Amino acid sequence: MKKSVLNWIGRTIAVVAIGAAAATNVMAQSSVDKEFARELKLVEGLKVYNKQLEDQLKAQAVANREITASIGKAQALEPQVVPLLGKMLGALEAFVKADLPFNKDERMASIFKLKDLMTNPEATTSSRFRSIMDIYTVELEYGNNYEAYKEVQNVDGSDIEVDMLRIGRVALYYQTPDQKKSAMWDTANKMWKELPSSVNRDIRKAIKVAAKTTAPELLSLPLTAPEGA
């Protein structure tokens, strides 16, 4: 009897042990499966990343070939570009000399600087072209804005500092500090033309508007007829 009971207990313990072992194996297998799934997901992610890098490298190779070809074409065009830059600079200088005489020293200084750049052996064609286009852009903007500034002018035989007023490329005026004398640049005759004292007040208002010291308002200013009109 005791032996039977012991045998039964032994079998029960064995069954429990086998069940525990099986459960442990299942848990271990589940952990392995999860780890494998994580690794597999990581590998898939690396494959996608490598494909992206491969596509980027191919695109960069194409871009490098295009840039190299463009450089070759630019070098072939350089003998034609250099004379063109010289013509552009010459046209710019002639234009400034024939234009209204505003900021003349500053504008001519920029042109002289460009001339030095053209003869500088260390300057590249691209830097020369960029510098010329920068000056062209500045000159273009002069036609779309207005300004007030001070400059020395010869008035009645004496050099004095006056208030200058430029309205685009349409008109250029000056007025003496005492506001008693105003003049306008006569484009046709290339000289200053004194204005009647009746316009002094409007000229002064326009100078203040251009200097942004007063609010804009509608003013009546004298204008010269365009050349050829």
Give me the number of domains the chain comprises. Answer: 2
Instruction: Looking at the structure, tell me whether residues 136 and 150 fall in a common domain.
Output: no
φ and ψ at residue 151, rounded to 5 degrees: -160, 150
Instruction: Looking at the structure, tell me whether residues 133 and 171 fall in a common domain.
Output: no
158 in a structural domain? yes
50 in a structural domain? no
For position 82, what pLDDT does the model report? 78
184 in a structural domain? yes
26 in a structural domain? no
Instruction: Looking at the structure, tell me whether residues 130 and 155 fall in a common domain.
Output: no
Instruction: Looking at the structure, tell me whether residues 122 and 161 fall in a common domain.
Output: no
pTM over 0.75: no
Burial of 119 (0-12, 13-18, 19+ CB in 10 A): exposed
Q: Among 142, 173, 189, give the residue marking a domain's end.
A: 142
18 in a structural domain? no
Instruction: Looking at the structure, tell me whether residues 156 and 137 fall in a common domain.
Output: no
Q: Among 106, 123, 142, give the residue marking a domain's end.
A: 142
Query: CA-CA distances (angstroms) from residue 199 to 185, 204, 208?
Result: 15, 9, 14
Instruction: Looking at the structure, tell me whether residues 81 and 109 fall in a common domain.
Output: yes
Per-block mean pLDDT, blocks of 10 residues, the chain (229 long) = 49 51 55 67 69 75 69 61 85 91 92 91 87 90 92 92 93 94 92 93 93 82 64
Tokens 């996608």, residue located: 48
Q: Among 142, 162, 185, give the residue marking a domain's end.
A: 142
Q: What distance in Å separates the CA atoms of residue 107 and residue 71, rounded to the nearest whole number?
A: 33
For position 198, what pLDDT does the model report? 92
Instruction: Looking at the structure, tell me whether residues 156 and 202 fall in a common domain.
Output: yes
Domain span at 133: 76-142
48 in a structural domain? no
105 in a structural domain? yes
Ramachandran region of residue 168, left (φ > 0), alpha (ψ -120 to 50) or beta?
A: left
82 in a structural domain? yes
Q: What is the dihedral of CA 201, 205, 208, 210, to 10 degrees?
A: -120
How do 171-175 and 158-167 pair as beta strands? antiparallel
